[in-house]
Structure 1
Amino acid sequence: MLFQVGGQGTRPTFFEMAAAQQLPSSLRAALTYSLGVLALRRPFLHRVLDYEDEFFALLMLVLETHSLRTTDASFSESLYGLRRRAITIRVKKDNTRLDSGDRIHHSGLEKHQKILSVVFLVVLPYFKSKLHSIYNKEREATLQASLWGHGHERYDDADYLEGGDNSFASTSGLDAEGSARTHLTKRIQNIIGACYPWLHAGNEGLSFAYQLLYLLDATGFYSLGLHVLGIHVCRATGQELMDTSSRISKIRSRERERLRGPPWLKVLQGALLSCTYTVLDYAQTGLIAAVFFFKMMEWWYQSAEERMSAPTVYPPPPPPPPPKVAKEGIPLPPDRTICPLCAQKRANPSVVAVSGFVFCYACIFKYISQYKCCPVTLMPATVDQIRRLFHDV
């Protein structure tokens, strides 16, 4: 395991394989999020989002086919400089103590291995995504039925037959056919809802087991699909990277030589091939840029939402100005510790809540009980608005 962390030799590390495996899901999330944002301005893009699985599978089919054809690696593996190699085991009877390098020989991928690789990389994930969506719909329907019960909106037989026997005869066949199709669809959904959790758990368990064994250097296969195909993923050498460029050039030259037809048609076909090659050459860079752009947009919108949802903190308002002393009221003494009523130092200081002025408790209680107002401001007050102060200034 420490050897893998170091990243030496031709064997990829666990982190390289995990990053290559997670790249398609990150790419799909980036494209879906980008289309969702654009669909806010262009509603017709919602049709693309309705067929998200099909469009993404078609995109990955083109990328994976091109990558396996030119580099002997999947789209994500080629970005990390990895290559797929078929393994053949050679057994020698005269020498039983052979190194692993002598017993296992790596070679390029054959045509059927490339086709099966596309099946494992594109077709199976597509069906898994469709099964997952069907299972989610079935689970939501079951949850809704458990909460609200099944729908009971049905036509009453008497009301339905009031239209006459002809209408019933003309629609009975269509209703029977539609009900049979609906029943079959419902039966398939129920089967998927019952079997998918076990299939998903088994798939995830096998994936975890293979990844753990690969991390502990107990197997050379990172996943069950690679084991079934008999393929090892290795790091590409510098010579292999140079050979890849020359192989791509040879393939494209042969494709240009196969063009047939009049000169204007050859020019048109050559222009289309050039555009296709340009798109494929910059597809990897563009899609990786889309992933980073998605992360940036996600961070931007998330921070903007946090700023909008965060409570606005305002500075504390200034204290209100002190109430004015009434002309007919008792004047305030120069010393703030003196009670305005008895002209003595305050005993048991108490404040009138409506005005904020402080008096002796006995003085202010007697005055408010008699006059029902503050003696300084003449604001209406009651004895319930007298507050005791435990610390006098």
Structure 2
Amino acid sequence: MLFQVGGQGTRPTFFEMAAAQQLPASLRAALTYSIGVLALRRPFLHKILDYEDEFFALLMLVLESHSLRITDASFSESLYGLRRRAVKIKVRKDDALLNSGDRLHHSGLEKRQKVLSVVFLVVLPYFKSKLHSVYNKEREARLQASLWGHGEESLDNLDYITGGEDVVVSMGTSNADRSIRTHLMKRIQKIVGACYPWIHASCEGLSFAYQLLYLLDATGFYSLGLHALNIQVCRATGQELMDTSSRISKIRNQERTRLRGPPWLKAVQGALLSCTYTVLDYAQTGLIAAVFFFKMMEWWYQSAEERMSAPTVYPPPPPPPPPKVAKEGIPLPPDKTLCPLCSQKRANPSAVTVSGFVFCYACIFKYVSQYKRCPVTLMPATIDHIRRLFHDM
């Protein structure tokens, strides 16, 4: 199952390398989400989530080791039709021109390079994940201490808490050892909390620098790990894919011929090998399907949550009924453009906010200043309730 992105020559494009590098993170998120959903009905699966780093590291150790052994590529690189090749620099001397030119020669991976590739692909990310979790715990503890103060003083004031030397002796050496281990773990957490940001920034900076240089064709190494191992990633040719298939068949035949024991034991071992080969053959397809399923479910639930959390749009409320004209108030003229006070065409129209009726500014200002009410509805009003209108209806 190969995903060819395109490009010319044996050099992979930047997008192929970036996609291959980001695939393990998507795979881990998909597996974590799937196990979390299953754990809702099978609580014993929560133990896997408690040891998520170890579980995923073990899974990737099996996949990466098998992929490097069979295809000379990591698990994610093999999906994109890529292969790892050792870079050897050979010097060619031309006696006629008396010049020496350097050229790169690619060959298959050695056993040492495969082992170190597994270290860079599985072991180092595992330790980085553990350091990241320790750093997060230390940061949360530091934030909690800054907000609520130090809640534990058992290490500094042990005699005060235990009630004197006699009580400490009665607790035994186990508590003393436990306090030493706790003190040591806190010291390690503080060291990790102080050093991890610099380590993480250095790793991310080197990764960005190599990716930028690879994008600009300034280097053939996509990452520092590949450069340290002197390995370049190339596209697999059709002949190499055929050779890989024949190599897989040859290795499996050799493993079947090595079976020892009675006939029934050979049959059981052969059945187990066949099941293992079937799982390995369809592991890539199944895991990629799990990634796509996770992305689809993430989009589905995100859209549902957005719809549920979106505010309900209600229709605008109807306008309140117009204020009624008081019996003792000034009646409204039949022509709406006339001022009810002076019965003339309104000049500098102004409205009283408590009632909404419009008058001449001079008329309404004088009336409200004297009577402190609207002349039509007799509602209480002040000069602060008078608003100038710049467009008269």
Place the TM-score, normalised by the shorter chain, in its bin.
0.7 to 0.9
Give the residue type in structure 1 aligned to 2:253.
Answer: S
Equivalent in the alignment of 1:239 = 239
1:6: Cα distance to partner? 8.6
Q: C-alpha separation between the residues in 1 aligned to 2:9 and 2:158?
A: 76
Does the 8 A contact of 1:10 with 1:234 survive in 2? yes
Is the alpha carbon distance of 1:46 and 1:343 closer, same or farther for their aligned partners in structure 2, counting shifts above 3 Å? same
Shift, 1:203, TM fit: 3.5
Q: Give the equivalent residue in structure 2 for 1:225.
A: 225
1:121 corresponds in structure 2 to 121
- After the TM superposition, which of the residue ranges 168-177 and 30-39 deviates more from structure 2? 30-39
TM-fit CA distance, 1:230: 3.5
Which residue of structure 2 lines up, in the alignment, with residue 174 of structure 1? Answer: 174
Shift of 1:278: 2.6
Instruction: Give the 3 Å change call, closer, same or farther, for CA 363–168 of structure 1 in structure 2.
Output: closer
- Quote how far apart the aligned CAs of 1:73 are: 0.8
Query: Mean alpha-carbon deviation: is it higher for 137-146 or for 356-365?
Result: 356-365
What is the DSSP-based 3-state SS (H/G/I as helix, E as strand, rest coil) of the residue aligned with 1:83? Answer: strand
What are the equivalent positions in structure 2 for 1:32-71 lying under 5 Å apart? 32-36=32-36, 44-71=44-71
Q: Secondary structure at the match of 2:106?
A: strand
| 1:182 partner letter | T
Unaligned regions of 5+ residues in structure 2, if any? none
| 8 A Cα contact 1:131 1:192, kept in partner | yes
Q: Secondary structure at the residue paired with 1:234?
A: strand
Change (3 A) 1:357 1:21: closer
Deviation at 1:41, TM superposition (A): 6.5
CA contact (8 A) 1:368 1:374 kept: yes
Measured after TM superposition, the shift of residue 87 of structure 1 is 4.0
Q: Deviations over 1:96-115 (max 9, x none)?
A: 756655xx443322333322
- Partner residue, 1:9: 9
Deviation at 1:240, TM superposition (A): 1.0
Once the 2 structures are TM-superposed, how far is the Cα of residue 74 of structure 1 from its aligned partner? Answer: 0.7
Distance 1:210 1:367 in 2: 81
Shift of 1:63: 0.9
1:119: how far off?
A: 1.7
Aligned to 2:30: 30
Percent of residue pairs bearing the same amino acid type: 80
Aligned-pair distance for 1:36? 4.7
Q: 1:343 to 1:130 in 2, by over 3 A?
A: closer
Aligned length: 384
Cα separation, 2, equivalents of 1:203 and 1:354: 68
**1:350–1:359 Cα contact (<8 Å) kept:** yes
Q: How far did residue 128 of structure 1 move? A: 1.8
The residue identity in structure 1 corresponding to 2:75 is F
Q: Provide the C-alpha distance between the structure 2 equivalents of 1:228 and 1:374, rounded to a whole number of angstroms.
A: 88
Alignment-derived partner of residue 357 in structure 2: 357
User: What is the distance in 1 between the residues matched to 2:372 and 2:212?
Assistant: 84
Question: Which AA in structure 2 matches 1:135?
Answer: Y
Q: Aligned partner of 2:30: which letter?
A: A
Following superposition, the deviation at residue 93 of structure 1 comes to: 6.9
Tell me the C-alpha RMSD between the 2 structures.
3.9
Per-residue CA deviations over 1:234-286 (Å, capped at 9, x if unaligned) read 21110111121222222223333444455555444444333332322222222
| 1:122-271 correspondence runs (5 A) | 122-154=122-154, 157=159, 160-161=162-163, 165=166, 168-261=168-261, 265-271=265-271
Q: Distance in 2 between matches of 1:214 and 1:338?
A: 80
DSSP 3-state at the match of 1:334: coil
The equivalent residue for 1:109 is: 109
The equivalent of 2:380 in structure 1 is 381
Q: Work out whether residues 85 and 233 of structure 1, in 8 Å CA contact, stay in contact via their aligned partners in 2.
A: yes
**Would you say 1:322 and 2:322 are equivalent positions?**
yes
- Give secondary structure in 1 for the equivalent of 2:172: helix
- Checking the alignment, whether the CA contact within 8 Å between 1:348 and 1:388 is kept in structure 2 is no
Describe the shift of the 1:156–1:54 C-alpha distance in structure 2 as closer, same or farther (beyond 3 A).
closer
Say whether the 8 Å CA contact 2:91–2:101 is kept in structure 1.
no
**1:199-218 CA distance string (max 9 Å, x none):** 44444444445445544545
* C-alpha contact 2:89 2:102 (8 A) present in aligned 1: no
CA distance in 1, matches of 2:335, 2:292: 71
| TM-score, normalised by the number of residues in structure 2 | 0.78
Q: 1:366 to 1:33 in 2, by over 3 A?
A: same
Runs (5+) with no aligned partner, structure 1: none
The code of the aligned residue for 2:53 comes to D
Q: Does 1:337 align with 2:319?
A: no
Report the Cα distance in structure 2 between the residues aligned to 1:347 and 1:82, rounded to whole angstroms.
Answer: 84
Do the aligned partners of 2:374 and 2:380 also contact (CA within 8 Å) in 1? yes
CA–CA distance in 2 between the matches of 1:99 and 1:11? 21
- Letter matched to residue 277 of structure 2: Y
CA displacement 1:162-194 (0-9 Å, x = unmatched)? 8x95x6433131222112222222333333334
Q: Deviations over 1:357-391 (max 9, x none)?
A: 345567667877898776655x6434458535434
Q: CA deviation at 1:231?
A: 2.8
Letter in 1 for 2:74: S
- Relative to structure 1, the CA distance from residue 368 to residue 46 in structure 2 (aligned partners, 3 Å threshold; closer, same or farther) is same
TM-score by length of 1: 0.78
Name the structure 2 match of 1:291.
291
Partner residue, 2:277 = 277
